[in-house]
Structure 1
Amino acid sequence: MKIAIHHRKGSFSERWIAYCEKNAIDYKVVNAFDSDIIQQVKDCDAFMWHHHHGHFKDVIAAKKILFSLEQAGIKVFPDFNTGWHFDDKVAQKYLLEAIDAPLVPSYVFYDKKEAMTWAQQTSYPKVFKLKGGAGATNVKLVKNKKDAEKLINQAFGKGFSQFDRLNNLKEKCSKYKNGKESLLGVAKGVGRLVVSSDFDRQQAPERGYIYFQDFIPNEGFDIRVVVIENKAVALKRVTRKNDFRASGSGNLVFENEHIDKRYIKIAFDLSEKLKTSSLAIDLIHSKQDAIYVVEISYGFPMLNFLDCASGYWDNMLNWHQSYFNLQEWIIGSSLKDIKDRD
C-alpha cells in the first residue's frame, strides 16, 4: 500500500506524514500543482490533500484533481461526497434541504427583481452570506429592508470582494484586545486596507446571486461537531462581544461529555446520510429549544480540538475517555477503506 500526500505547512499533511512514518506506511510527498500530477500518483492506492478555501490555487484545482482520481479508482481525501460542497454555502443549502436536515431557513435568488420582492415582504433581521468564506467572514446581520436592498443592489451590480479588508482589521483588533493577536498582526491588517492580498486580486467578485438565512435568536454560542467514521468530537464557540457571530471568534469552551447529545446525534445522522469521511457541522440552539444546522465543511482548524483531547462519542452516543488525533483518524479510516476494498 502506498499513499501520495500533497504537503502544505500547517495543514493536515503534517500529521499524515508523521502517521505514515510512525507506522512504516509507504508514502510519497507530491506537488498537486505539477502538470503531471495524475501520472505521479498512478502507482499509489490513495491521494490525500487538505485543500484550503483561502489559497487560490487550491480553489481552482483541488476538486478537479481529487474527483478525477476518484473516478480512476484511487482512494482520495476528501472524496466527492465529503468535499464537493466545501466552501459553498449555496450548494450546502440545496444538499441539506434535499436530505431534510434541520437547516436554518435559507433563501437564494438569482434574479434582482425576485430578490427585491422577497426583501419587501420578509421579516427581519436576516443574515447575509457569500457562498464562500470561513470564520464568519462575508457574514453580515441585515436589520431591515433598507439594508437588504443595499446588499441586493450590490450583488447584482459591482458584486462583493471575497476578502473584506475592513472586517479583517476589525477582527484583528478585537483579537488583539483579547490577547489572541499580535501587534504585528494588527499592523498587517492596516496594511491590507491599502494593499490587497494575492487571493483578493485573483478571485473574481461575487455577483449574480444573493443568499440569506433567517436569524435564529439563541444563547450566544454555536456547537461545532466533527464526525470521522464512527467517532465524534465537539466544542462550543461563544460569540464575539456585541456580535452575533461565533465562528472564528476564538472563544472556545470544551464541555466534552456534558454537551447536549442532540447535537451529536444530528451530526452522526447527517454524516451517514451524506456518506462523508469527515464532516464538520455548525449547529445552533434556538430559544425555542430547537437545534438547527448552519453550515457544513469537510475540514476544520488544526488546533481547535487540542484542548479537548480527553474523549469522544461513538455512533451509539457512548462517551469514551481517550486521547485522540483527528488527522490520524482521517488517514486511518482511509487505509481501512483501501484494505476493505481489496
Structure 2
Amino acid sequence: MRIAIHQSKGSFSDQWIVFCEKNNIDFKIVNALDSDIMAQLQDCDIFMWHHHHGNYRDVLASKPVLFALEQGGVKVFPNFNTGWHFDDKVAQKYLFEFFDFPLVPSYVFYEKDAALQWAESTIYPKVFKLKGGAGSSNVKLVNSKYECKKLIRKAFKTGFSQFSKGHYFNEQLIKFRETRNVLFILKAFARLFILPEFAKMGKEEKGYVYFQDFIPGNHTDFRLKIVDNKCWGFQRQVRKNDFRASGSGHLIYDNDLIPQSMIKLAFEISEKLNLQSAAFDFIVQDSKPLLVEMSYGFGIDAEEFNYGYWTKDLIWHDEKFVPQYWMIENILRNEI
C-alpha cells in the first residue's frame, strides 16, 4: 500500500508526511499540477491532496484529478462525497435540503426577474453571499429591498469579484487595532492596488444570486469538525459592530457550551453524507441548531487540538490529538 501526497506547506500535508515517516508507511511526494500526474501515480494506491479554494491552480485541477483517480479505483482524499460541494454554498443548499437537514432558509435565483420579484415581497434583513469564499468574505447584510435589488442587478450584469478589496481593507484595520502592528496597515493599502493571484485569474461571479435568512440573537456561531468519527469544536464570537463570526479570530474553547443536539447532528450529517472530513458552521434559533455551510477543509490552529474531542457515543476524551493522522488511518482502513 503506497500513498502519494501533494505537498503544500501549511496544509494537511505537513502532518500527513510526519505520520507516514513515524509509522514507516510507504509514501511519495508528488506535484498534482504536473501534466503527467497520472503517470506519477501508477504505482500508488492512495492519493491525498489538501487543495485550497484560494489557490486558482488548485481550483482548476483538484476535482478533475481527484475524481478521475477515484473513478479509476484509486482511494483519494478528499473523495467525491467529501469534496464535490467544497466552496460552493449553493451546492450545499441543494444537498442539505434533499436530506432535510436543518439549514438556515436559503434562496437561489438564476433569473433576474424572479429574484427581483422575490426581493419585493420578502422580509428583511437577509444575508447575501457568493457561492465561494471563507472567513466572511463576500458576505453582506441586506436591510432593505433597495439594497437587495441593487445586488441582484449587479449579479446579473457586471457580477462580483471573488476578492473584495473593501472586506480585506477592513479586516486588516481590525487586526491593526487589535495588535497595533503597522504591517496590517501596509497590507491593507497594498491590496487596494495589487490584487492576489487568485483574484487576477478568477472570473467574476455572476448569473445567479444567493441569500439566506438573517437569524437574530446569535452572539457567536459554532464550528464543529469531524474526522474519523471524532468531533471537536469551538464558538466564534461575532465581530464588534458586525453580524459575522467567521474569520473573527475570537474563539471560545469550552466543550460544555456546545449543545449536545448540535454534536449529534454533526455526527448524523457526516455519517449520512459519508464524509471523510467535515467542518460545519452552525447557529442557533429557538435553542435548535441550524446549518449555515460546511467544508471538507479547515484552518490549522494547533491550539484547538489541545482541548479534546467527542467520539460518536458522545463521550468526551480530554487529550491532545492530530486530526491529519486520523485522515490517513481512516483511508488505510478503507472505511470510506
Smaller-chain TM-score range? over 0.9
| Superposition deviation, residue 184 in structure 1 | 1.8
Task: Quote the Cα distance in structure 1 between the aligned partners of 2:195 and 2:21.
Answer: 39
Equivalent residues of 1:155, 1:206 under 8 A apart = yes
CA deviation profile, 1:158-177 (whole Å, cap 9, x unmatched) = 00000001110101111221
Q: State the one-letter code of the partner of 1:139.
A: V
Q: State the one-letter code of the partner of 1:309.
A: N
Task: Quote the Cα distance in structure 1 between the aligned partners of 2:33 and 2:305.
Answer: 35
User: 2:175 maps to which residue?
Assistant: 175
Task: Quote the Cα distance in structure 2 between the aligned partners of 1:115 and 1:244.
Answer: 24
TM-score (normalised: structure 2): 0.97
CA deviation profile, 1:279-338 (whole Å, cap 9, x unmatched) = 11000012x2221000010010011x524523111111111112111111111111121x
Q: For residue 178 of structure 1, give the secondary structure of its aligned residue in structure 2.
A: helix
Q: For residue 51 of structure 2, give the secondary structure of its aligned residue in structure 1.
A: coil
Give the aligned CA root-mean-square deviation in angstroms: 1.3
Q: Tell me which of 284, 297, 300 is aligned to 1:299.
A: 297
- Asked if 1:97 corresponds to 2:94, the answer is no
Task: Quote the Cα distance in structure 2 between the aligned partners of 1:254 and 1:72.
Answer: 42
Q: For residue 239 of structure 2, give the secondary structure of its aligned residue in structure 1.
A: coil
User: 1:282 maps to which residue?
Assistant: 281
Equivalent residues of 1:256, 1:308 under 8 A apart = no
Q: State the one-letter code of the partner of 1:265.
A: K
User: 2:224 maps to which residue?
Assistant: 225
Task: Quote the Cα distance in structure 2 between the aligned partners of 1:253 and 1:167.
Answer: 24
Alignment of 1:1-342 (within 5 A): 1-179=1-179, 182-286=181-285, 288-303=286-301, 306-337=303-334
Task: Quote the Cα distance in structure 2 between the aligned partners of 1:307 and 1:145.
Answer: 41
Q: For residue 153 of structure 2, give the secondary structure of its aligned residue in structure 1.
A: helix
Q: State the one-letter code of the partner of 2:330.
A: S
CA distance 1:91–1:307, change in 2 (3 Å): closer
Task: Quote the Cα distance in structure 2 between the aligned partners of 1:141 and 1:261.
Answer: 30
Structure 1 stretch displaced more, 191-200 or 163-172: 191-200
Q: State the one-letter code of the partner of 2:119.
A: A
Task: Quote the Cα distance in structure 1 between the aligned partners of 2:182 and 2:282.
Answer: 33
What are structure 2's unaligned runs of at least 5 residues? Answer: none
| Superposition deviation, residue 274 in structure 1 | 0.5
Q: How many residues align?
A: 336
Task: Quote the Cα distance in structure 2 between the aligned partners of 1:277 and 1:32.
Answer: 20
Q: For residue 204 of structure 1, give the secondary structure of its aligned residue in structure 2.
A: coil
Equivalent residues of 1:254, 1:308 under 8 A apart = no
Q: State the one-letter code of the partner of 1:138.
A: N
Equivalent residues of 1:218, 1:284 under 8 A apart = no
CA deviation profile, 1:142-191 (whole Å, cap 9, x unmatched) = 00101000000100010000000111010111122122x84223312211
Equivalent residues of 2:222, 2:234 under 8 A apart = yes
Task: Quote the Cα distance in structure 1 between the aligned partners of 2:100 and 2:76.
Answer: 27
Task: Quote the Cα distance in structure 1 between the aligned partners of 2:145 and 2:112.
Answer: 14
Among all aligned residue pairs of Structure 1 and Structure 2, give the percentage whose two residues are the same amino acid: 53
Q: For residue 211 of structure 2, give the secondary structure of its aligned residue in structure 1.
A: strand
Task: Quote the Cα distance in structure 2 between the aligned partners of 1:317 and 1:218.
Answer: 27
Equivalent residues of 2:253, 2:307 under 8 A apart = no
Task: Quote the Cα distance in structure 1 between the aligned partners of 2:31 and 2:184.
Answer: 29
Task: Quote the Cα distance in structure 2 between the aligned partners of 1:218 and 1:4.
Answer: 46
Task: Quote the Cα distance in structure 2 between the aligned partners of 1:167 and 1:258.
Answer: 30
Equivalent residues of 1:257, 1:319 under 8 A apart = no
Q: For residue 320 of structure 2, give the secondary structure of its aligned residue in structure 1.
A: coil
Equivalent residues of 2:305, 2:321 under 8 A apart = no
Q: Which runs of 4+ in 1 moved over 4 A?
A: none
CA deviation profile, 1:29-61 (whole Å, cap 9, x unmatched) = 100011110111121110000000000000011
TM-score (normalised: structure 1): 0.96
Task: Quote the Cα distance in structure 2 between the aligned partners of 1:205 and 1:31.
Answer: 28
Task: Quote the Cα distance in structure 1 between the aligned partners of 2:210 and 2:218.
Answer: 24
